Structure 1
Amino acid sequence: MSAAATARVALVTGGNRGIGRAIAERLVADGFRVAVTARNGQGPEGVLTVAADVNDGASLDAAIAEVEKELGPVTTVVANAGITKDTLLMRMSDDDFSAVVDTNLGGAFRTVKRAIKSMIKARHGRIILISSVSGLFGVAGQANYSSSKAGLVGFARAITRELGGRGITANVVAPGFIESDMTAELDDATQAAYRKQIPAGRYGTTEEVAGVVSWLAGEDAGYISGAVIPVDGGLGMGH
């Protein structure tokens, strides 16, 4: 059997920046062969970047075929790609709602549906869905985003019921406030107000999210499926 066929191969959607990039870097460090999807830009050094839009099934078909040709069968998929279109419910257009749900939840469905083929054949796989604390207790102005991220929990649990007997796990990681370009742009007063809500008293880092994904992708988490793991400094306790 070739090295490519026996390697651990991970696919991370939206892996060219932010949390997705940190996840890709961590999985490379863990010894995975890693590919990332990106609509534009490049993933980190040491990964294969493939052009794909999670809203476009044909582009995902082509991307996964390229990944499996270059790296081998996918054994781990991290559905990370997502968008926001925040506004109050009364002002939210039908398109604002459907675009976010179709990208964040529908995109995960389209990616996972295609990636599981190799996992089913191998009777081994790891599916990791990047949700948000917003999906657990709701955020004003994010009816679309909160709904899409909550939907990932049901998706993971349905997958667990369907494919758990084939050695495939499906879990959810729910980050809270994470250091990013977006949070860096907030004024000091707003940042202080947000930190006040977090028992840990600080924002998380993309590396801390990546560390949880690393564990879920490894052998130690083989008996965990359908779980939701918050990475939020205690912000969402009880949900």
Structure 2
Amino acid sequence: MDRLAGRVAIITGGARGMGASHVRKFVAEGAKVVITDILEGEGRELASEFGENVKFIKHDVTKAADWKTVVAEAENTFGPVTVLVNNAGISMNKSIIDITEEEYRRIVDINQVSVFLGMKYVVPSMLKAGTGSIVNISSINGLVGGAIGYTDTKFAVRGMTKAAALQLAAKGIRVNSVHPGVIETPMIVQEDSKDAIQEFAKYIPNRRIAKPEEVSNVVLFLASDESSYCTGSEFAVDGGLTAQ
């Protein structure tokens, strides 16, 4: 399998969940991958599965200095970066009355500012390569309403994607957003939420929640040349949930 042969990818929040699924899919398709995350133990353990094809870097995605280090180390290890998957993010289910300013700004920094920083500091590396694909992981809450803070930032990711796509199209760099619905990750299927999720699945047109690899397949498509004429677009992976 070589759909990403010769590609150098950075995947943020790649230590577990959907991020880890993206890592596995990319390596299987021939990419060299830099995993970044604040979860150092899990990140290094995942990287160890793939030997010299994968490098882990502990990374605070809200810090410009960390982004500069990640890009430099990726180039030094594998060469210019050609794929960026902005996957890192957090959620918080609090009302607009209860959420604090500090909590709100933390969501904005991690979910929104990090995407801006990632694109800003990776683009020069892609220009060296002469090509690039940026995949920004948003959410169905970048298409329809949800929790305050989370929804705001996921709509922002969708908007930044379109703005960046227009600016970078002539430079050979594509930018798209992916909008997952309910995905079977450790956070979702833990015991205290399992029953609620199974009940909610009845209202999804496909009548089930998604496997992480079903999102990874779309991310892979956007990272590959198969999507060479796709830029500035949003791709929902939600079993028809937002079509209702």
Q: TM-score range by the shorter chain?
A: over 0.9
Give me the whole-angstrom Cα distance separating, in 2, the residues matched to 1:102 and 1:188. Answer: 29
1:110 to 110, 117, 121: 117
Which residue does 1:16 correspond to in 2?
15
SS at match of 2:136: strand
Q: CA deviation at 1:97?
A: 1.2
Give me the whole-angstrom Cα distance separating, in 1, the residues matched to 2:180 and 2:86. Answer: 14
Q: CA deviation at 1:7?
A: 2.6
Which residue does 1:234 correspond to in 2?
240
1:213 to 195, 214, 219: 219
Q: CA deviation at 1:188?
A: 5.2
- 1:198 and 2:204 correspond: yes
1:95 to 89, 96, 102: 102
Q: CA deviation at 1:123?
A: 2.7
Give me the whole-angstrom Cα distance separating, in 1, the residues matched to 2:77 and 2:130. Answer: 21
Residues 70-219 of structure 1 mapped to structure 2, 5 A cutoff: 70-139=77-146, 142-185=147-190, 186-187=192-193, 189-219=195-225
TM-score, with normalisation over the residues of structure 2? 0.91
Give me the whole-angstrom Cα distance separating, in 2, the residues matched to 1:111 and 1:102. Answer: 12
**Aligned AA (2:138):** S
4+ runs of 1 displaced by more than 3 Å? 186-189
- Matched-pair contact (CA < 8 Å) for 1:18–1:180: yes
Once the two structures are superposed, residues 170-200 of structure 1 have per-residue CA deviations (whole angstroms, 9 ceiling, x without a partner) of 0000000000112212445412331122111
SS at match of 1:92: coil
Unaligned runs of 5+ in 2: none
Give me the whole-angstrom Cα distance separating, in 1, the residues matched to 2:128 and 2:188. Answer: 42
Unaligned runs of 5+ in 1: 1-5
**Aligned AA (1:135):** G
SS at match of 1:158: helix
Q: How many residues align?
A: 231
TM-score, with normalisation over the residues of structure 1? 0.92
Taking a change above 3 Å as real, the CA distance of residues 154 and 188 of structure 1, as seen in their structure-2 partners, is closer
